[in-house]
């Protein structure tokens, strides 16, 4: 599995996020010793989740229009977002964080109306 160095684990605050300048940019989220990675831009509007998002548990909220996503799956949890974020496999080794291949997610696929909530 090909992987790319992203940052040091200590660069990501516990319960916080950072933006990684990759192509495309990636947001890294830390919950304890676990790190999750998604596309950095909110699928509703081009807004950085790694720099401007608010992290609470396993959710990140875009500060622009309050769209919320599950950082483990990329799934949108409320409107106005209806498309999932791309997620990436993360490997943490000896305090270094690496990004691996994109995970198989529902990126860009609309959230079924029955699963939408007004948040």
Can you list the domains of the chain with their CATH numbers?
4-105 (2.102.10.10)
Please say whether the beta carbons of 84 and 106 come within 8 A.
yes
- Provide the pLDDT for residue 119: 38
Mean pLDDT of 94-113: 66
Length of the chain: 119
N-term to C-term CA, the chain:
37
Q: What is the pTM of this model?
A: 0.85
Please say whether the beta carbons of 78 and 117 come within 8 A.
yes
What digits encode the pLDDT tens for the residues 38-97? 999 999 988 999 999 999 999 999 999 999 999 999 999 999 999 999 999 999 999 999
Helices (H), the chain: 49-52
- Provide the pLDDT for residue 2: 87
Least confident range of 1-5, 24-28, 32-36, 55-59: 1-5
d(CA 33, CA 29): 10
Least confident range of 13-22, 31-40, 109-118: 109-118
């Amino acid at each position: 599995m090909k992987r790319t160095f992203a940052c040091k684990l200590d660069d990501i605050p516990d319960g916080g996020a950072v933006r990684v300048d990759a192509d495309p940019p990636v947001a890294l989220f830390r919950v304890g010793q676990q790190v999750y990675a998604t596309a950095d831009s909110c699928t509703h509007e081009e807004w950085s989740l790694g720099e401007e998002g608010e992290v609470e548990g396993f959710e990140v909220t875009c500060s622009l229009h309050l769209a919320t996503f599950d950082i483990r799956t990329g799934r949108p949890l409320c409107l106005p977002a209806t498309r999932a974020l791309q997620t990436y496999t993360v490997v943490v080794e000896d305090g270094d964080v690496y990004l691996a291949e994109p995970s198989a997610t529902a990126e860009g696929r609309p959230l079924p109306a029955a699963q939408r909530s007004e948040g």
